[in-house]
Structure 1
Amino acid sequence: MIAAYPLQWPEGWPRTKSYLQKNGRFKHDGRWITVFAACDGVLVELDRLGIKRDDIVISTNLKTRLDGMPRSDQREPDDHGAAVYWETNKGVRRVMAIDRYETVADNIAAIAATLEAMRAIDRHGGAQILDRAFTGFSALPPPAAARHWREVIGVPSTVRDMPSVRIAFRRRAAEVHPDKGGTHEAMAELNVALAAAEKELNG
């Protein structure tokens, strides 16, 4: 199952180097777009494509609300990427992911804008052409987590408090972050491990 938090970047999709990311300048009602408005844009576009809300996951490094959508009232995470997973009424799983902008909100808004552009294909070219256009967005199942979170973060079983885990997490992140010579895959594994630690230790 795809998790809304932390970010589940689709396997095999290239990542944008942080120094190449830019300001998206997406606006909503005359203001810079919020995470809430950007997510709403994605839901609206997918609804117009016949995708039900329950078949959509917006995955980011922002913690989620009770409905599974990213919360707006949070500090911008180090990884601004966003991935949207959905399943068609034919059971085909799709994904679209963008990380070229400097905020999560802008990357989600960019996905909404891309969906809107592709929906125009449906209006002008028909469903068959739209299906072909979406072929490159087929979603593969995420790789199964092979290692326990303690092993990934580097904390012994005697550590049972989140402050100590977060200290170890930051230390490990300084080693595996792409900007420090690490890889996006290692950082993604570390983020998943932190989420697992929070779930286990905080209940």
Structure 2
Amino acid sequence: MIKKFIRKILGVKEKPVRDPSEPIVLAQAEHGIDPKLVSSNAIRVTSSLQEAGFKAFVVGGAVRDLLLGVKPKDFDIATDATPEQVKRLFRRAFIIGRRFQIVHVMFGQDLLEVTTFRGAGEVNAPKDEHGRVLRDNSFGPQHEDAMRRDFTINAMYYDPATQVVLDYHGGIADIRDKTLRIIGVPEARYREDPVRLLRVVRFAAKLNF
């Protein structure tokens, strides 16, 4: 019953298996993102992290919107720096949360959310009786962070400095095909976080997918 419902709302067909640790790398001429749509503060955060020796990318819904030619309302940053390392780099930076820490970096009224790459350790994390994940900090490499995201269209990384997009799960192709595809086994991912079902409906309406 669950499987039938998921297939109905997602309309997903199987994709060829590829190595999820090796992203598709697309230059600006291939992905077409207009760099003028990227906020100066997002560039400021990624540049500061990169100058300190860390990886840093615009990630998630902001990359999706940029690929659709829409200026994002919010910019989230993903990095291999820990929350404490991020906090030390910015004057107005605040670590939020206990079980899963993120950093809010403030520039005036502009807030940017900075997260450390999440690891696949969450796959084996404690769950409640319904299969929902009881989250905790679990950091890891970038390809594992991509695996932990919800949909392929939200699992891409954009580097404003090089204007390169890293696409681990075929998100650009799914945007072009107007396909919402969850990463991993749908039934398991929905049990981990039932809110994802609501996100499917919201994204389908918002993006006209």
TM (norm. structure 1) is 0.27
Task: Judging by fraction of residues, say which structure has more helix.
Answer: 1
Bigger Rg, structure 1 or 2: 1
TM (norm. structure 2) is 0.26
Task: Judging by fraction of residues, say which structure has more strand.
Answer: 2
